[in-house]
Amino acid sequence: MSPFLCSFRRTDISIEVPSGSKHTTPRNTSIPDLCYRKITTSMKETFERPIPLQFHLTPFKPFRQHPDGKTNERVYSEIYDSDVFLEEHDKMQRAPTGDPSCKREKIVAALMF
């Protein structure tokens, strides 16, 4: 079996499925043999491949010039240009590494579900 398929786990789960009516209680539904992967496994494998070279790893604040030509307006479009992401990136850059000779880039890997 491939290493990729070996990274999946299997389990039986039960979930509550809402009825759509506040007067009817949710129904429990069993899902046998659900396949899943740990999120940390997926992240590790992603960053070990060439594709992260195409990722935005350094956040920035995009602006657009207002049509009046006098003012700029902040544009929010992605998680990596949010204030929270910028703050976490800044904290990560200032965080000690434990190895002063380490030259690896420190990044925040944001996930959107």
20-77 pLDDT, tens digit each: 998 999 999 999 999 999 999 888 888 899 988 888 788 999 999 988 888 899 999 8
Tell me, yes or no, if the pTM score tops 0.85.
no
Name the residue among 5, 7, 8, 10 with its Cα closest to residue 33.
10
83-105 pLDDT, tens digit each: 999 999 999 998 888 888 888 88
Element (H, E) at 30: strand 27-36
Contact in structure between 106 and 92 (CB atoms under 8 Å): yes
Using CA atoms, how far apart are residues 30 and 112, in angstroms rounded to an integer? 27
Task: Provide the pLDDT for residue 36.
Answer: 93
Range of the domain at 8: 1-37
Whether residues 62 and 100 share a domain: the answer is: yes
Name the residue among 21, 37, 31, 46 with its Cα closest to residue 107.
46
Q: Looking at the domain assignment, is residue 47 inside a domain?
A: no
Give CA 58 to chain center in angstroms: 15
Name the residue among 8, 4, 39, 7 with its Cα closest to residue 111.
39
Whether residues 21 and 66 share a domain: the answer is: no
**Residue 50 burial class via C-beta count within 10 angstroms: exposed 0-12, middle 13-18, buried 19 and up:** exposed
Whether residues 30 and 74 share a domain: the answer is: no
